Amino acid sequence: MNEFEEAISKKQEKEESFITLFLAGDVMTGRGIDQILPYPGDPTIHEPYLKSAKKYVEIAEEANGPFAAPVGFPYIWGDALAELERAAPDVRIINLETSITGSDDFWADKEIHYRMNPKNIACLTAAKIDFCSLANNHILDWGYTGLTETLEALRKAKVKFAGAGRNLEEAGAAAVMEVHGKGRVILFSFGAGSSGIPLEWGALENKAGVNLLPDLSLKTIQSIKEKVRAVKREKDIVVASIHWGRNWGYEVSPGQISFAHGLIEEAGVDLIHGHSSHHVKEVEVYRGRLILYGCGDFLNDYEGISGYEAYRSDLTLMYFARLDSSTGKLVLLRMAPMQMKNFRLSQASQDDGRWLGEVLNREGKKFGTRVILDENGALRAMWEENNLGSRKRKKHYEGALI
């Protein structure tokens, strides 16, 4: 083998260790979206102003025209399906913010309740979703009966999940995805009180619920470290999917930043998949590891509802992260801009993609990250190799529930 052939061989060997993940924010297939799918469930809801999920369909139709309902299961994903096929990710990851149930046992202390008829589970498999993060503030909207039915529906559909379960051990367990010839992806799901998760939803030793973080402290990081150590082995990528923070606003708290950094430095986590915000938030690359502080909503039924237009929550991103399984470090981050309209994802315009890029550049400046819009309309991330700004930041762990 000559020098050129040897170089090509090493390059191919290196690329064979690359694992590509598709990550998206909140996927809300309940309420209005459930009503346009082939098997709409009971539309009854218990909100202060609306009593039927059908009203959300009417509001969307008033804004952008009528639906030809029922739609097929792939409909809601729209142009995202072709983008997924082009990118060919090894693992497809979302935050499922919907209870999959026919239960009428709604959580009375909450104003908003999402549920999807279990017969519509094929809307997830239509996009070949591999993993759903469940530690969020809607998974128990329809009580413990609804949670049990949700877990059963996902198991039956062979979609893996983490973050909720019949007890604390099950809720805190990681999902393991084998990527043939490359390694494994280990996925943990955590929820923080700052996202609106009721404290009583926290799973206990003998009680079902979600994997609720007690706080964002160093002690909590050490606890997660033990769980990571118990399962992580060579060529494993560890993902921490975290539901945290407010719905609106770009600010990331010092506690969130320190917690994310601590998970990377201390616990051996390779990627932070943050969600809860209804719009896209900043991106950081810390010590070579990707932190998505807020992926925004990916699918919802908010169309036509006014109040936060400045955040352009109709715009979202498909995150494609390529990681080196031999190191856990980010190799490439490509983001495809999408727009939600008619309860369906469409490729965003060049102007909208440029607007998203400006937001990411403005908010990412403090982290030393920026993006460029490529010839195909996608955003590609660039970051400071040493990320000095983050390394110099004073640690600010938060011991109180936030």
| Residues near 217 by beta carbon (within 8 Å), at least 6 away in sequence | 397, 398, 399
Distances (CA, A) of 267 to 183, 218, 277, 281, 343: 19, 10, 25, 24, 39
**pLDDT tens digits, one per residue of 306-336:** 889 999 999 999 999 999 999 999 999 999 9
Is the pLDDT at 12 greater than 80? The verdict is no
Is the pLDDT at 396 greater than 60? The verdict is yes
Would you state the structure tokens that stand for residue 307, as one six-digit string?
A: 């109040």
Residue whose token pair is 């990627």? 271
Once rounded to an integer, what is the mean pLDDT over residues 244-266? 97
Model pLDDT, residue 6: 45
Is the pLDDT at 390 greater than 60? The verdict is no
Distances (CA, A) of 12 to 8, 9, 17, 84, 326: 6, 5, 9, 23, 14
HSE-CB for 73 with a 13 A CA cutoff: 15
Asked whether 88 and 182 are in contact (CB, 8 A), the reply is no
Model pLDDT, residue 401: 39
In this structure, the strands spanning 160-162 and 131-133 are parallel
d(CA 163, CA 369): 30
HSE-CB for 362 with a 13 A CA cutoff: 10
Model pLDDT, residue 17: 86
Tell how far CA 123 is from the center of its chain.
17
Would you state the structure tokens that stand for residue 112, as one six-digit string?
A: 């908003």
Would you state the structure tokens that stand for residue 221, as one six-digit string?
A: 């990081």
CA-atom Rg of the chain in angstroms: 20
Q: What is the DSSP string of 21-88?
A: EEEEEEE--STHHHHHSSS----B---SS--BTHHHHHHHHHHH----SSPPTTGGGTTHHHHHHHH-
3-state secondary structure of 229: helix
Once rounded to an integer, what is the mean pLDDT over residues 187-212? 97
**pLDDT tens digits, one per residue of 217-242:** 999 999 999 999 999 999 999 999 99
Is the pLDDT at 388 greater than 90? The verdict is no
Q: What's this model's pTM, rounded to 2 decimal places?
A: 0.94
Model pLDDT, residue 50: 96
**127 versus 395: which is more confidently predicted?**
127
Is the pLDDT at 402 greater than 90? The verdict is no
- Burial of 244 by CB count in 10 Å (0-12 exposed, 13-18 middle, 19+ buried)? buried
HSE-CB for 246 with a 13 A CA cutoff: 6
Once rounded to an integer, what is the mean pLDDT over residues 99-118? 97
Is the pLDDT at 4 greater than 90? The verdict is no
Give me the chain's average pLDDT, please.
93
Q: Per-residue confidence at 14, pLDDT binned at 50, 70, 90?
A: low
Nearest to 272 by CA among 252, 289, 296, 288: 289
| Residues near 226 by beta carbon (within 8 Å), at least 6 away in sequence | none
